[in-house]
A and B are shown apart, each in its own frame.
Chain A
Amino acid sequence: DAGVIQSPRHEVTEMGQEVTLRCKPISGHDYLFWYRQTMMRGLELLIYFNNNVPIDDSGMPEDRFSAKMPNASFSTLKIQPSEPRDSAVYFCASSPAGSNYGYTFGSGTRLTVV
């Protein structure tokens, strides 16, 4: 099992540009989560899906952020337009239903908006 796969690993973009982060969860996992890590706030939940359906997007900071999960093996997080304050590490994680062992995280995408 290759684990949760995120791409790209690093992204540097100019303010105002569109950014798309990608995630492939572990096969068979029912849940997919997008988190953002910053020094000030630690790990913040942005949105999560259950069986490809968005369940809770209350953590999405603004309308500039959107997330989709068109099928069980792929999800995207899009920022349009990007701003310097969006600079952070974005993690995707997946989990089987009812797991007592938590999530499996991807290695993250480090986003820098200049």
Chain B
Amino acid sequence: DQQVKQNSPSLSVQEGRISILNCDYTNSMFDYFLWYKKYPAEGPTFLISISSIKDKNEDGRFTVFLNKSAKHLSLHIVPSQPGDSAVYFCAATRPEYGNKLVFGAGTILRVKS
């Protein structure tokens, strides 16, 4: 039973446009959410996070939005750059998990120049 779902296996966007990556979760007890980015032959790296007490967190070109009632979060990248082409993983956790994260299956983003 996947608690964190990324239903779009891939996304293709033109350079300069907005990329929107989506993530849904089923466990309403999750209180902290993270996005990781992964390049080929490398491990995932932390990108941005959001606490459940917020509905938006911004860091440069990256913004994460959280809709708790819909159990949905999204990552917006504006403007998209070719270097953003990577696999993006959504992850979630709750206090009882300690430091354990539950990851989605990932979305491959391709930014075309």
Name A's B-contacting residues (CB within 8 A): 4, 30-31, 33, 35, 40-45, 48, 50, 55-56, 91, 93, 95, 97-108
CA distance A78 to B105 in the complex (A): 24
Query: In the complex the two chains form, is A106's CB within 8 Å of B34's CB?
Result: no
**Majority secondary structure, B binding face:** loop
CA distance A42 to B100 in the complex (A): 16
Residue contacts A-B, CB under 8 angstroms, 25 given: A31-B99, A41-B105, A42-B6, A42-B106, A43-B89, A43-B103, A43-B104, A43-B106, A44-B103, A45-B103, A48-B100, A55-B98, A93-B43, A97-B99, A100-B49, A101-B49, A102-B91, A102-B101, A103-B46, A105-B43, A105-B44, A105-B45, A106-B43, A107-B42, A107-B43
- Which residues of the partner chain B approach A91 to less than 8 Å between Cβ atoms? 43-44
Considering the complex, which residues of chain B in the window 46-80 have a beta carbon less than 8 Å from any beta carbon of chain A?
Answer: 46, 49
Query: In the complex the two chains form, is A107's CB within 8 Å of B36's CB?
Result: no
CA distance A93 to B46 in the complex (A): 12
Query: In the complex the two chains form, is A95's CB within 8 Å of B105's CB?
Result: no
Chain B proximity of A11: nearest CB distance (Å): 14
Considering the complex, which residues of chain B in the window 80-107 have a beta carbon less than 8 Å from any beta carbon of chain A?
Answer: 89, 91, 98-106
- Which residues of the partner chain A approach B103 to less than 8 Å between Cβ atoms? 35, 42-45
CA distance A85 to B105 in the complex (A): 18
Query: In the complex the two chains form, is B100's CB within 8 Å of A108's CB?
Result: no
How many residues on B have C-beta within 8 angstroms of the other chain's C-beta atoms?
22
- Which residues of the partner chain B approach A50 to less than 8 Å between Cβ atoms? 98-99
Query: In the complex the two chains form, is A102's CB within 8 Å of B46's CB?
Result: yes
CA distance A87 to B101 in the complex (A): 23
Chain B proximity of A99: nearest CB distance (Å): 7
Chain A proximity of B37: nearest CB distance (Å): 11
Chain A proximity of B77: nearest CB distance (Å): 19
Query: In the complex the two chains form, is B99's CB within 8 Å of A95's CB?
Result: yes
- Which residues of the partner chain A approach B89 to less than 8 Å between Cβ atoms? 42-43
CA distance A30 to B100 in the complex (A): 12
Query: In the complex the two chains form, is B43's CB within 8 Å of A45's CB?
Result: no
Output the nearest chain B residue to A50 by Cβ-Cβ distance: B98
